Amino acid sequence: MKKLSKEFLELCRSVTAKRAKTVIDHILKHGQITTEELKVTYGYDHPPRAVRDVREHGIPLETFRVTGSNGRQIGAYRFGDIRKQRFSKLAGRTGLSKKIREALMDKYGCKCFIYLEEMDARELQIDHRVPYEVGGDEKTEELDPEDFMLLSGSANRAKSWSCEHCENWAGKKDKKVCLSCYWAYPDNYAHIAMRQIRRIDLVWQGDEIATYDKLKAQSTKLQKGIPAFVKQIIEAELSGKKTP
């Protein structure tokens, strides 16, 4: 591995988020990390999310191919050219990250913006509404908390996967496209990753689980999947018809 500057090493060591730190520490020790190692050694089922965490801390990674244990080609990552990297204003600044997180919680409560459920503050992460890879940061001295959102771990992974497979991510990177997407504003959107889809994410927790169990039992009795049965209930409610 090429010699790293003191400033770059300091940036690497400033990262404390577990997933990103795991990737960084492994590369510092071994020069690279593979998707296989991320899955098998560290238990990360979605390696691109872990890699994105590192990049969002302002640390460039480049992707290349290596041969995995099964003889097939797999992805691998190593530090890229730091001179070509765009740096997020959150990079290495845990104080600023904490400030934005607290501002969002003060205004919206400890709630995942996707699932709209109250959660323990420790379970919530902050994420750019518009992926940093598309929109970067605003060219102002202070970051606006409204450019960020609170997400649960599962919602963050779902958003990452959807965004990374969107044509806008890989193509022209039009910020306006992202701003009209479900993953930026789930309460007011025109598309999901440039596809004409509408969705509702429902979570049952605590005492509500009994209701879910009844729903599941009834859908099984009717030989319907739960999503199809929920749609049927909603359609019946809107039309004034009685559900089975």
State the residue range of the domain holding 233.
206-239
Q: Which residues of the chain have pLDDT under 70?
A: 1-2, 82-96, 136-141, 242-244
Structural tokens at position 165? 């497979």
Q: Is 186 within the bounds of a domain?
A: no
What is the structure's pLDDT at 138?
60
If asked whether residues 78 and 99 sit together in one domain, one would say: no
Do 147 and 80 sit in the same domain of this protein?
no
Is residue 108 included in any domain, yes or no? yes
78 and 101 both lie in a single domain: no
Q: Do residue 121 and residue 146 come from a single domain?
A: yes
> Model-level pTM?
0.64
In a domain, 15, yes or no: yes
Residue 196 lies in a domain: no
Residue 112 sits in the same domain as residue 161: yes
Residues 175 and 104 in one domain: yes
Contact 45, 56 (CB under 8 A): no
Same-domain status, 151 and 212: no
Q: What is the pLDDT of residue 86?
A: 46
Q: Are residues 157 and 104 in the same domain?
A: yes
CATH number of the domain bearing residue 134 = 3.40.1800
Residue in 102, 90, 93 with CA at minimum distance from that of residue 137: 90
Residue 98 in contact with residue 105, Cβ under 8 Å?
no
**Per-residue pLDDT at 199:** 92
Q: Are residues 125 and 103 in the same domain?
A: yes
* Cα–Cα distance measured from residue 194 to residue 196, given in angstroms and rounded to the nearest whole number: 7
Could you say which of 164, 179, 194 is where a domain stops? 179
Question: Among the three residues 84, 104, 135, which one is the final residue of a domain in this structure?
Answer: 84
Domain boundary among 62, 84, 106: 84
Q: Which amino acid is at 136?
A: G
Q: Does residue 134 lie in a domain region?
A: yes
CATH number for the domain spanning 19: value is: 1.10.10
Q: What are the pLDDT digits (tens) for 114-166?
A: 998 888 888 888 888 998 778 766 655 577 899 999 998 888 888 988 998 89
Phi-psi region of 223 (alpha: psi -120 to 50; beta: other; left: phi over 0): left
- Please say whether the beta carbons of 160 and 151 come within 8 A: no
List of residues 6+ apart from 90 with CB closer than 8 A:
56, 57, 58, 96, 97, 100, 137, 143
Instruction: Examine the domain organization and report whether 70 and 103 are in the same domain.
Output: no
Please tell me whether residues 80 and 98 are part of one structural domain. no
Q: Please state the domain count of the chain.
A: 3
Cα separation, 136 vs 99, in Å, equals 19
Pairing of the two strands 61-67 and 73-79: antiparallel
Same domain, 69 and 104: no
